[in-house]
Chain A
Amino acid sequence: MGSRNKISSSQLFCLLLLSRGVLSVACGAFGGNIGSAALSAAIALIASILLSIPVLYLGKDGTAELQSGAGRAVSGIYAIYFFYSVCVTMSMFTVLREETSGMRISVILVPILMAAAAVYASYKGIEAIARCGALILFAVASAFVLLCLSLIPKSDMLNLPPVGSYKVADIIDNAVIMVGEQSCIPAILFIYPHIKGSVKKPTVLWLFVLFACVIFLSLFITSILGDYALSQPFPVYSWARLSSFGVLQRLDSIFLAVWTAGVFVRLTLLLWVLSVCIRYAFGKKPSKLAAPVFGVAALITAVAVPFNTAIRSLVLNPGLLLFATIFCCLVLPFALILKRRLGK
């Protein structure tokens, strides 16, 4: 493994924050209610820390277990999970585009370009993805700071609902979505051998920063949109549409641009992890074809999502996503730990 395939702890942090953050922005695809999202985020933070423990416990040697014997089958299951995650990400991208621009721009062309770019970038290796991710994270963070600053005068504390008015069902629904979207936690298992330095610290820091941002944004957005947020499929996007800075109007275009760049990094990372899974399961040759093959399959799924309710409800299913994430964060790592123990 050359130095080109090594990333630092801070790059890992940036990559995880960006990859997971872009999904929070499009939470409306799952039908979540932003009103009580702050409380759900606190629950999701605790759940995510618990889910990351087995992966972090496996550590660098976890990948050795994945490349031999029954571990290969586990790698295959992880590949299916990451493929599902790619489908979810691509579908969110097409659904948000559908909601924000109708179908004026070709529903197929943009995802094709996105998938092609992501497949190409995934061949460049984790180091290139991490460098790109850090740059894009800087752009995303700058854009959000700009949007927040421009919208501060529009916030009204009366729009924040009292905690007593939160519905338990909403809190649980949001927490399910937030934990279900944590596909970055099992991905750490495959990135682990490529990291110079500590993994535990950036992972824990990532979870705290991520959910702190989610809590802040959900409260801030609710204080601006009030009950209007309930009528919007993508409240974060609707929030961005209200922004303006002096003569600069309609800053939502900035939001869409940086969000698209963030989705690109997430897709690239997932496709790279997916090809690593295939390499562990089936060897080097098939892994070279993994990114384009799964990329095309995800593209077909994502393009079908806006038109087919059955596919949409299957792909963007919070319950299924939560089950898959818990299975890959807890059950499979425990199986690997067991394998290691029995092997000794």
Chain B
Amino acid sequence: MTAYLLKRFAIALATLVLASMVVFAVLEILPGDPARLMLGMNASADQVELLRNQMGLNAPLAWRYLHWAGGLLSLDFGRSYTYSVPVLDLVRERLAVSLPLALIALALSTIIAIPVGLFSASRRGRAGDTVAMGAAQLGVAVPNFWFALMLIYVFAVWLRLVPAGGFPGWGAGIWPAAKSLMLPAVALALPQAAILARVTRSALIEVLNEDYIRTARAKGLPYRAVLWRHALRNAMIPVLTILGLQFAFLLAGTIIIENVFYLPGLGRLVFQAITQRDLIVVESVVMLLVAAVIAVNLVVDLSYAVVDPRLRSRQ
């Protein structure tokens, strides 16, 4: 078990270091000189050179990488070129929108998907299953930003129940803020729920064919108990894998949805930073997201061991 944990941890760490090198290298080849961008087109070459020196852009590549990576470790992400504030402050402010959004969407998706998967698996081949899986098939095919537009049309334009976009900030009170996250969360959650429901169903069907399920039924356990206690637990591994992937996707995948709803979140921040060549912001946010993906994958790997005792003893 310890060896398993250590190996997973080492792999995650190595991936993180490699990823940071890739991010740094990729942004090095991005066209556009940040110093020139900050000073504008009328600045003289001397002024640009001076600022480049001040910003440390003229230092050797390896030194700049180490400086940057060291900064990341001590949570010193540097200052944004365009906003002239520490990147950490920007990120913190934007995470206050993106993180709740991702969590609400994930919760919503799970709450919908697991019962639908259970329902379908236990009614395999019957009308209820066909309808549920048909709906899931449709859900997988819907682009979330189009679904978002349709939601805006129905709930914001037509019924006027929620705002069509924008975010009042948490300072405006929990309810107005939460209200403006509702449509984005639903738009993000439904396509994800469709995928999760399909995975839950097929994982359950595989488990329901096992001998121990027959044994559990034979010893007189009611079907419902077998389904929830024995089948669902054993079907959790693929479900957890997808959940982990989805959380990572939701953190980064909010880029388009945040653009649809004009939400000041992390995705919109990084999108604007890319178009404005605000490299420090791009580097930091991308690394943050990559670190989140790696961390989530690690947690998922570890949770396998919790869900499946066989993994614990084997290693």
**Is B one of A's binding partners?**
no
B residues at A contact (CB < 8 Å):
none
